[in-house]
Chain A
């Protein structure tokens, strides 16, 4: 199927730039702290204790990571389920983000749990009552689905170009044949995985909200509500497109491409109603539970809640209602960044700021080790994104005629 102007190609840029070297240093710094964590235990690098069992790694690496990778399922729903082909160009970058994002969510869980070598236990030891079990199982399956959705990009990159070194070159033909077979099979069945991906996402995005419900009174009433799963789902859906815009504009800047404003403006226009819906439930919940009284107490919780709502939802919502913002790359980028930061802050608030255990001696603040690992994971993610964008057909170059490669673009949805 040919899409006009859709032509994902490897970008053929130099991988190393000064910025990339900085990212490599940040990533190496994380590796050092991770080594300490695995040699001497969680206590050696984190400020976690019996009062605060969960900290930065669960709040940001896992909870925010899952939310910010939501672009994968929202664009898949838009492009594949609703067949809005005009958005096809953003699907692959969003898929790449989701795949890398969830991979690092898994890494985040892996380093945070005390017995990392038992990470496979939930696969065979089930507890249907546990929200965490449901999140875990869904994330594992979804990660597998994302890898499957990504496979056609790998096959497309290598079909007809398999060139193994030395003695292995005898296998070139067979590998090529396997790739072609895989590609044919995938293109017939891909729709199963695409729908499964959307269903799995709605399930675990909401269950991530259920996680803190059981903490009950240990969570500040500004955030503790039985509709947390709904708020988590709505905010994840609302942050999907902003994340795509945010990344697309950064990528086009750093890889020296023309911003795809014709698509991004349309995505931006869809952000306002989604944000509005989230805001309506958030404010409605606040009034039904009459928690606005806590906003008058000047403390960390009320300030963080206000910042989250005002800068993360209200201001970008107002911005996105203006045509001028939607057409300007700089303003659209600002609005998208605010939404992304707002959802990031919301997850931090829910998992860290709102958590007020009854016997806490002093409140939790992440240690250097925790911050280093989180920053390092983000750096690794960006490096891998750059690697894939440069060596694999991810980014579509506008204007060029569709080549033969384009026939692999939208798998299974012919």
Chain B
């Protein structure tokens, strides 16, 4: 009888091993779409040009079916006295800061999703709802979302927001880079409406060149830093400014992609299920040996 159960044991262990190998081949594909196309688009935000008219806020709401109100009501600059963040009712907002080195006018900064080249949200999302598309947009499939809010924990720019007051179908919201508009060849709504051309839409690689060129030609106007060129491995949205980005409400971030460390840990632990399968085999071996030792002890007693 003990002999038989030992054979059973080996048989089932082999079966489990086979099962795990089968699993690993299918799970290798189980990652969301995350394309880093060389032709991906971006937007260059020149904060030295922006006048803080907030037309982009209106256009964004209008394009996303959010209550937008009259465009005229956005002329009221009182709201710029407080620092705001995007929320489910406004996917982009303008914040105003004290003047930089270039002029005496205040600096206005548009805030929205940066559309990272290596997005933390895409890596984090439990159901793989987020994707980085070929045109650079980081978008998400609301139908998959379970509302766990891990994307909000992961995002280095604190961008995704959540509808805490809805009991049924609360949404994660953020800027989607007007994915539906750009698909049809239209400009993102904010870029389209900007009256002073503070926003430039184009291939990210070219935008970096344009930004460098502007800094080189106007060293008095700009600080020598393109925010988003290197931060967290690069972002589709790039910023130029006349003062330090830390004083303009930008977080201080390194050059490593936000999901880099966690993904390498994750893949190290799993590595095609070899470590878990080895642990299973090791524990199985230990169990078998300790059982055998016990049996031998008992036989000796008899």
Chain A positions within 8 Å of B, measured between CB atoms, are 38-44, 46, 48-51, 53-54, 77, 80-83, 85, 109, 112-116, 118-119, 121-122, 125-134, 136, 188-189, 191-192, 194-196, 198-199, 202-203, 206-207, 210-218, 226, 229, 355, 357-359, 413-414
**For residue A412, which residue of chain B has the nearest CB?**
B5
**For residue A123, which residue of chain B has the nearest CB?**
B127
- CB proximity of B235 to chain A, nearest CB, Å: 15
Contacts of B120 in A (CB 8 A): 214, 216
Chain B positions within 8 Å of A, measured between CB atoms, are 2, 5, 8-9, 12-13, 16, 27-28, 30-32, 83, 85, 87, 120, 122-129, 144-150, 152-154, 156, 158, 161-167, 169-170, 249, 251-254, 258-259, 261-263, 265-267, 269-270, 276, 279-280, 283-284, 286-287, 290-291, 293-294
The answer to whether B30 touches A191 (Cβ under 8 A) is: no
The answer to whether B158 touches A359 (Cβ under 8 A) is: yes
The answer to whether B167 touches A40 (Cβ under 8 A) is: yes
- CB proximity of A380 to chain B, nearest CB, Å: 23
Which of A46, A81, A82 is the most central at the interface, judged by chain B CB atoms within 10 Å of its CB? A81
Contacts of B165 in A (CB 8 A): 40-41, 43-44
The answer to whether B145 touches A118 (Cβ under 8 A) is: yes
Given contacts A114-B145, A195-B283, 10 further A-B contacts (CB under 8 A): A109-B148, A114-B163, A121-B127, A127-B126, A128-B28, A192-B16, A195-B287, A210-B262, A212-B153, A216-B253
Q: Which one of B28, B145, B280 lies within 8 Å of A195 (CB-CB)? A: B280
The answer to whether A128 touches B27 (Cβ under 8 A) is: yes
25 contacts between A and B (CB under 8 A): A41-B163, A41-B164, A41-B166, A44-B165, A49-B164, A83-B287, A112-B148, A114-B148, A114-B149, A118-B145, A119-B146, A127-B128, A128-B31, A134-B266, A194-B287, A195-B284, A199-B283, A210-B266, A214-B258, A216-B120, A217-B156, A355-B153, A357-B158, A358-B251, A413-B291
The answer to whether A413 touches B147 (Cβ under 8 A) is: no
Assembled-state Cα–Cα distance A40/B8 (Å): 54
Contacts of B30 in A (CB 8 A): 126-128
Which of B153, B251, B258, B294 is the most central at the interface, judged by chain A CB atoms within 10 Å of its CB? B153
The answer to whether A226 touches B265 (Cβ under 8 A) is: yes
Assuming the contacts A83-B293, A115-B146, A203-B269, asked whether A129 and B156 have C-beta atoms less than 8 A apart, the reply is: no
Contacts of B276 in A (CB 8 A): 199, 203
The answer to whether A81 touches B127 (Cβ under 8 A) is: no
Q: Which one of A51, A82, A195, A196 lies within 8 Å of B290 (CB-CB)? A: A82
The answer to whether B152 touches A53 (Cβ under 8 A) is: yes
- CB proximity of B239 to chain A, nearest CB, Å: 16
Contacts of B148 in A (CB 8 A): 109, 112-114, 132
Contacts of A129 in B (CB 8 A): 31-32, 122-124, 259, 263, 266-267
The answer to whether B85 touches A50 (Cβ under 8 A) is: yes
The answer to whether B287 touches A81 (Cβ under 8 A) is: yes
The answer to whether B259 touches A192 (Cβ under 8 A) is: no
Assuming the contacts A133-B127, A203-B276, asked whether A50 and B87 have C-beta atoms less than 8 A apart, the reply is: yes
Contacts of B85 in A (CB 8 A): 50, 359
Which of A130, A203, A229 is the most central at the interface, judged by chain B CB atoms within 10 Å of its CB? A130
The answer to whether B5 touches A188 (Cβ under 8 A) is: yes
Assembled-state Cα–Cα distance A42/B163 (Å): 9
Assembled-state Cα–Cα distance A39/B167 (Å): 6
Contacts of A359 in B (CB 8 A): 83, 85, 158, 249
Assembled-state Cα–Cα distance A126/B26 (Å): 10
Contacts of A207 in B (CB 8 A): 266, 269
Assuming the contacts A188-B5, A214-B154, asked whether A83 and B27 have C-beta atoms less than 8 A apart, the reply is: no
Contacts of B170 in A (CB 8 A): 41-42, 114-115
